[in-house]
Amino acid sequence: MGYEVLAGTRAPVRVWTDPYGIEEQAARQLRNIGVLPWVQGVAVMPDVHFGKGATVGSVIAMRQALSPAAVGVDIGCGMSAVRTSLTADDLPDDLAGLRRAIEDAIPVGFAQRDDPVDPRRVRGLEQRGWIDFWQRFADLDRRVAQLETRARRQLGTLGGGNHFIEVCLESGGTDDGRVWLMLHSGSRNIGKELAERHMAVARRLPHNADLPDRDLAVFLSGTPEMDAYRRDLWWAQEYARRNRAVMLAVLMNLVRDRFEQVSYDEPISCHHNYVAEERYDGVDVLVTRKGAIRAGAGDLGIIPGSMGTGSYIVRGRGNEAAYCSASHGAGRRMSRAQAKRTYTTDDLAAQTSGVECRKDAGVVDEIPGAYKDITEVMAQQEDLVEVVAHLKQVVCVKG
């Protein structure tokens, strides 16, 4: 499809969807970002929608500056997936038992683990770096010191909202019917606590006094505030990655115990709320991807749809006009409150037909109809990624 340029900004804002189809609030946010003096450029993904400060589905390249709102509060949120040697024929006709087993093994929603994860007791989990990782908790913002016990107990837990664990079947191609395991989660409460504290600090800094939106407040390189944010940011991104690694290892072990002779390919993992140091057109920039994945040439990534529509494994094309990025999913087309007003549990049951999942009022806000059409989103970014595999979920666990 290629991109169009949003009018009325100082820095280029390149849009991989119809710019006239972007909701008014989100378009206003994008223009506010595009006039900031530190912004090198913005790439807008086809799943773009309104968010706090910065739009979800935006990739922002800044020079010597960083906006916490352009990362979001769920620092390091992302996806993990692994292909198994199982096929659809290996699965039982009734998948309710498998869903219950997953829910019993991995806490969801607000639940925590009774005892923190001991990496040595999780078969297949990477063992390196755990001691150093937890020792660095003491270096984080002192206002979260009392949250260490909670952070340890939430490691290896799913959370709620749009976070999920799925068992999927590959659709089409030579591996039609192959079983995949997939999950979506982030840095849990500790990432949110760190993000909100640093956002509050940024809003009070004098150089942010005249911004079009105070939620876009930035830290400047070479300042103690920037150093403190980046220290906490890197730790939270690592927490999110380790959180997903624990859950994926637990999930893989659960499947090993239930099925004979299962093997796994190399897992795929990617953040979609994070910061990276990158270089474009000879300029070193800090790239924030809020609801976007890195799609450098050859990079494998995961782009999920909603809980009834399937997902995609993709390979990046390295399109530098988009700062080597792609969408992180289908993207919401209506708020959670609007979804609850619009749809019923009968609608949810109909739209998730064939998927073993919750179909109660507690997840109506996650109904497929509340999201954009994932096939349209994929069609709008053919110059950003190529599709490696199309997956359709048969089990979906939500918090």
Positions annotated as catalytic residues are: 328
Distance spanning both ends of the chain, measured CA to CA:
36
C-alpha–C-alpha distance, residues 274 and 291, integer Å: 9
C-alpha–C-alpha distance, residues 299 and 89, integer Å: 31
Question: Cβ distance 328 to 378 under 8 Å?
Answer: no
